[in-house]
Amino acid sequence: MTFACRVDDVPLGEGRVVTLDGRRIAVFRSAAGWYALDAACPHRGGPLADGIVCDRAVICPLHDRRYDLATGEPLGVGDPVTAHAVELRGERVFVEVAAPVPVAA
């Protein structure tokens, strides 16, 4: 696990981008918990951290693609986005950077 940010850095219902192991990761804080996904939407590269966070889902701000925050699976059509494990340690947020999800050919 790698330190990503402090709890106060991410307001409830929003996401923030951090760079971990050379990768841009979006860290989300929702009413359902803390989550982390690759920062770019696999559809057109939209900034997922700027999307609308609803419970366990994020909606890409470019084309309304929806992704499960816990798994990265699309809620509808499209390719998945890589999800990363998150752990809180006091006021600090840690992320385990996962291997990228292969994109369908």
Domains of the chain: 2-96 (2.102.10.10)
Query: pLDDT at position 101, please?
Result: 75
Query: pLDDT at position 9, please?
Result: 98
Which tokens in the block code for residue 67?
A: 């992704």
Going by C-beta distance under 8 Å and a sequence separation of 6 or more, which residues neighbour residue 90?
A: none
The DSSP result for 41-103, as a single string, is -TTT--BGGGSEEETTEEE-TTT--EEETTT--BSSSS----EEEEEEETTEEEEEPPPPPPP
User: Is a pLDDT exceeding 60 seen at residue 85?
Assistant: yes
User: Is a pLDDT exceeding 90 seen at residue 102?
Assistant: no
Q: What is this structure's pTM?
A: 0.92
d(CA 7, CA 5): 7
- Mean pLDDT score, 40-56: 94
Q: How many Cα atoms sit within 13 Å of 39 on the Cβ side?
A: 15
Percent of the chain with pLDDT over 70: 97
